Amino acid sequence: MTTLLAVLALICLAPAVAAVLVRNLIHSALLFVLAWLGLAAFYLALGAEFVAFAQALVYVGGVSMVALFAVLLTRPGRTDLLPPPSAARAVGGLAAVSLVASMLASSLFWSRLPSMEPTAPIPLRRLGELLAGPYLVAVLLVGLILTVALIGGLLLAAPRRPAEGADA
């Protein structure tokens, strides 16, 4: 179990790190997609099949497409040059690295969390009953949020109408 998870974690983490460092914007976005796919596999190994499929659908199928479209629509040129190094950036990087170090340290070495037996996975039927029962209002609200986001996205991204009186 642990070995499988560790391998999957590496498969997930490596593209993510590469995505941050690589210069080409398209490559970077595609590496992000790879990282999400690895994460979906990780979820699968954890026994959360439904979440894994949701992850794959939403991120690999949806968000990545939106991101690629945004890249194409904005056409920022072939490469995205890293900005020149500056003191502010160095401070930011240092802070981020120290944060990484502290969190890794706390979670791995100083944590006193007991290692428990995994709980039983939830059957899909039960999940459906949960979503249609106690969480029904939340599901409906999420639907509403998605609709509003759709309309809001359209309004934001749609080209402005030419001003009154100007010839179109």
Tokens of 67: 């991101």
- Contact present, 50 and 130 (Cβ < 8 Å): no
Kindly state whether residue 44 participates in binding other proteins, applying the rule CB under 8 A. Answer: no
| Cβ 6 to other proteins shortest distance, Å | 6
**Whole-number CA gyration radius for the chain:** 22
Shorter beta-carbon distance to other proteins: residue 154 or 166: 154
Q: Count of CB atoms within 10 A of residue 21's CB?
A: 9
Shorter beta-carbon distance to other proteins: residue 119 or 162: 119
Q: Count of CB atoms within 10 A of residue 40's CB?
A: 23
Region 51-90 residues binding other proteins, contact defined as CB under 8 A: 51, 54-55, 58-59, 62-63, 66-67, 69-71, 73-74, 76, 80-83, 88-89
79 SS3 class: strand
| Cβ 111 to other proteins shortest distance, Å | 7
Each residue 117-156 as x (binds other proteins by CB under 8 A) or -, in order, gives -xx--x---xx--xx---x--x---x--xx-xxx-xxxxx
Instruction: Tell which phi-psi region holds residue 80, choosing left (phi > 0), alpha (psi between -120 and 50) or beta.
Output: beta
Kindly state whether residue 30 participates in binding other proteins, applying the rule CB under 8 A. Answer: no
